[in-house]
A and B are shown apart, each in its own frame.
Chain A
Amino acid sequence: MATVTLQDLTKVYDRSAPPAADRVSLDIGDEELMVLLGPSGCGKTTTLRMIAGLESITSGSLSIDEQVMNQVPAKDRDIAMVFQSYALYPHMTVKDNLAFGLRRRAVPRAEIERRVKEIAETLELSPLLGRRPHALSGGQRQRVALGRAIVRDPKVFLFDEPLSNLDAALRVSTRGEIAALHRRLGATMIYVTHDQVEAMTLGTRICIMSGGRVMQVGAPLEVYHAPVNTFVAGFLGNPPMNLIPARVAEGDGGRRLAVAGESLVLPPARMPALGPETALTFGIRPEHVTLRRDGAEAGASLAAEVLQTEALGAETIVLAALREDRAAKVMARVAGDAGFRVGESCRLQFDLAAAHVFGAEGDVLRPR
């Protein structure tokens, strides 16, 4: 039962460098699982540590349940955190690791016993209670770290890349466990990751960060389908959105784009009318690109040459270069049996009803 509000939260470690977190504003609702997503070094951990109280706040304010928390020490914030390194106490058994936080909070002995036992059962740690962390596997340590957070029943859970030290299979199953945990506990959680699959599958909302700033906040599909700038567009999706430089050409009500010597005409729903010669970026996701040997529509396709194919079975990822501008490369996600070969000429057919247009600064341009 908690809401967390960040208002212009800023962290400056070093005056000569740009802030590690720069005016981060975010409203996290009760029972929400907010994912902070961004490339390494974008300030996710810093933001999380300010919320935890492990890092001082340079400016801005942090509130939990409407109460300003800037000056409240970490130990009094009633927040639990799962660390990337797990940070289990090496000199304590699993049981003591789980109980450590409760002992401090003057929980009666019998109650501690009961809760530790219960958590150990749900996380399948019961046979390991007497062991010390060095005698556990990576996955087991991870579960102890989770258990140590859950057992305290805190107001807010923080996760800092909790799955990044697990192997791929374990990562998928633990991801499921965390999602189930969130549903079961109905707790407010803030989850940091650089992995967009984790973000898309776990988050009720995603906050995408870059260079210490919040780029966009929204539900997973919302940020996927309506990125506000080229950074978000190019970060989400695997492969990410194709971004191709373009200019506005005469005609078609200011919605004709000149790209690599040809033109594309965008529907009014996807683009505002713009004056000729405006420089912009044309964006289209790989799943909205198809390859045609013939029969491509004029005004919605470009000539290209296949550079590389990656057969994944059900589908094939094709990398193609535009014929008239070989520096501009386009990824397409086509059927697994499409059979295009490297060096082959083709036309790239775009589903322009799903196209995006970004201005010179990289911000999305939407029709009014």
Chain B
Amino acid sequence: MDVLKKSILLLLLSGYTLFAAGPFVWAAMMSLRTTTEIHYDHFGFPDPIHWEKYPEAWFNSNYAIYFTNSTQVVLAAVIIVTLIGAMAAHCLARYRFKLNRLVYFVLFSTIIFPPQITIISLFQILVQYGLYNSKLGLTLVYVAIQLPLTVYILESFFARIPSDLFDAARMDGYSDWQIFWKVSLPIAVPAVATTVILNFILLWNEFLFAVVLITDEVNRTLPLGIQRFIGDTQEDIGMIATGLMIAIIPVIVVYAFFSEKLIQGMTAGAVK
């Protein structure tokens, strides 16, 4: 009986894993095959394995530049959005002041707008301030679009920290600023890790704002790089797959690293 249950569960999980990992494995295989081979047999195994496609993409197709750009923009945006978001959340959760809930509501309500609505005005604003087609401009836009969700997640977490803890820290001689760094933030590590992962993945894959706000080759991020292999008349499927793999690897690394922290933090019973 128990064995039967387990086998069914295992079967279901294997099915789901195949379903979820299938496209990834397929893209990974295509990244090691040439476009001609792929056209010949869509699902074939890489044989011979074309490792040289990776250096090819990296050096000859500007992937080194895209990768650096993506890293710069996304890292900067994630750091800024985490810091500002955590401070705002701490403030909204902890201090009673007039219009507290109004500020929170206005910030949060922007989540419901589809991004297309803001893109034209953002374009205008960036052009006006000379930030159009620059990594700085894109970074600021990324901070802005991810801020509401970040504040939302962190606020609900900070609100659950008992206020006695802050009072205890005040009695221990700490200022509000120090309390944020030494009490709020360390306790909120699991929540912060969640927002870091979320923001990193969403921004690393972000295409819409990037394609509208960046035109120069030297400022392109990875999702835009993949466009390079899509010509007017034909697509270089093989190289698109290689580019995809280069783009995906950091996401996996970040997830693997932070999710472990995440689980650690949660199981340690951080808030108690």
Q: List residues of chain A with CB under 8 Å of any chain B CB.
A: 49, 52-54, 73-76, 79-81, 83-85, 87-91, 100-101, 104-105, 132-134, 148, 152
Contacts and interface: CB of A to CB of B under 8 A. Distances in A.
Given A84-B164, A101-B171, A132-B268, 6 more contacts: A74-B170, A81-B171, A85-B162, A91-B270, A105-B173, A134-B268
Nearest to A85: B164
Contacts of B164: 83-85, 87
Contact of A83 (B168, B173, B178, B268): B168
Contact of A134 (B162, B182, B183, B272): B272
B171 A52 contact: yes
A148 B271 CA distance: 19
B272 A133 contact: yes
A89 B174 CA distance: 13
B178 to A, nearest CB: 8
Nearest to B178: A104
A89 B183 contact: yes
Range of interface residues on chain B? 20 to 34
Q: Which 10 A-B pairs have the closest CB atoms?
A: A101-B172, A87-B164, A104-B173, A87-B168, A134-B269, A74-B170, A91-B186, A75-B173, A134-B272, A83-B164
A134 B168 CA distance: 17
Interface in B214-229: none
17 contacts: A52-B171, A75-B171, A75-B175, A80-B171, A81-B167, A85-B164, A87-B164, A87-B165, A87-B168, A89-B168, A89-B187, A90-B187, A90-B270, A91-B186, A100-B182, A105-B173, A133-B272
Nearest to A132: B268
A73 B162 CA distance: 21
A90 B175 contact: no
Interface of B: 162, 164-165, 167-175, 178, 182-183, 186-187, 189, 268-272
Contact of A90 (B167, B170, B182, B269): B269
B158 to A, nearest CB: 14
Contacts, number: 70
A90 B168 contact: no
A87 B186 CA distance: 15
B236 to A, nearest CB: 51
B268 A75 contact: no
B165 A89 contact: yes
A325 B247 CA distance: 90
Given A81-B167, A87-B168, A101 B272 contact: no
Nearest to A81: B171
B171 A74 contact: yes
Given A54-B167, A81-B168, A85-B162, A90 B272 contact: yes
A233 to B, nearest CB: 34
A191 to B, nearest CB: 16
